[in-house]
Amino acid sequence: MFRYTSFVLVLAMVGCAQHVTPFAPTGLQPAMPNVGAAAAKPAESVTANVAFQNDVFIPGNRPVEFTVYWSYAANPFWHVEVQRCVKPGAVFDTKVVYNYIKDGPQIKFGASYPCSIITGNHRAVTFRSMIFDPNAHFHVRYRSEYDFNIERFKFEMCARGGGNNEVCHGDIR
C-alpha cells in the first residue's frame, strides 16, 4: 500500500509541476507559452537588418551560400538564423530579432562559393557589439576577382554596420 501511495503522490507532483516548475533560469524563459510565428516581439527587443549582396561572377554563375548566425555575449553559443543560396548579382534581405539587449547581442556572417559544396572559399565576419538606433543595419558583400599571376579566383567578404567599421575576410586586397 505504501508503494502505491508513493507512486500516486509522485505522479501528482510531476503532473502538477509540469506547468509551474521552470527548467531554465527565469530570464531565459518566455513569459507566455510559445505560440509560433504569430507572436509579437517583446517591447524591449531590437532588430539587426541585414542586406547580403552576391558579387561573385565566375563562369557558370553558381550561387553563394550565405549564413547569418546570432548569439549573446552572456551566452556565446552561435545559432543559425538563416542559410540561403543567393544567385550572382542578387541581394538577399533578412533580419535577426534580439529580445535581450542587455545580454550583449552578437552577429556573424558566413559565405562560401559555390553553394552547398564544402570548399576552401568560405569567409566569415563577426561583430561582437552593435549599436541599435533604434535598430542596426548591416551590409554584407561577397565578391571574387581573378588573379592572373596565380591563375585562380580570389574571394573576399566585407561587412559593415551596427556602428562598426567595415571588416573584410579574404585574399583580394
| N residues, the chain | 173
How far is it, in rounded angstroms, from Cα 136 to Cα 85?
23
Instruction: Give yes or no for residue 16 having a pLDDT over 50.
Output: no
- How high is the pLDDT of residue 39? 52
How far is it, in rounded angstroms, from Cα 93 to Cα 106?
18
Nearest Cα neighbor of 172 from 158, 154, 159 is 154
Nearest Cα neighbor of 45 from 20, 70, 9 is 70
- How high is the pLDDT of residue 173? 65
**Cα separations in angstroms, 21 against 8, 9, 29:** 19, 17, 11
Percent of the chain having pLDDT more than 90? 51
Confidence category of residue 38, pLDDT binned at 50, 70, 90 = very low
Helix (H) or strand (E) holding 5, with range, is helix 2-17
For range 62-80, the mean pLDDT: 94
Confidence category of residue 1, pLDDT binned at 50, 70, 90 = low
How far is it, in rounded angstroms, from Cα 121 to Cα 153?
10
Confidence category of residue 172, pLDDT binned at 50, 70, 90 = confident
Instruction: Give yes or no for residue 134 having a pLDDT over 60.
Output: yes
Strand segments, DSSP code E, in the chain are 46-55, 64-72, 75-86, 91-98, 105-112, 123-127, 136-147, 152-161, 164-170
Instruction: Give yes or no for residue 103 having a pLDDT over 50.
Output: yes
- How high is the pLDDT of residue 61? 79
89 phi and psi, to 5 degrees?
Answer: 85, -10
- How high is the pLDDT of residue 2? 58
Instruction: Give yes or no for residue 135 having a pLDDT over 70.
Output: yes
- How high is the pLDDT of residue 76? 85
Residues 6+ apart with CB under 8 A from 17: none
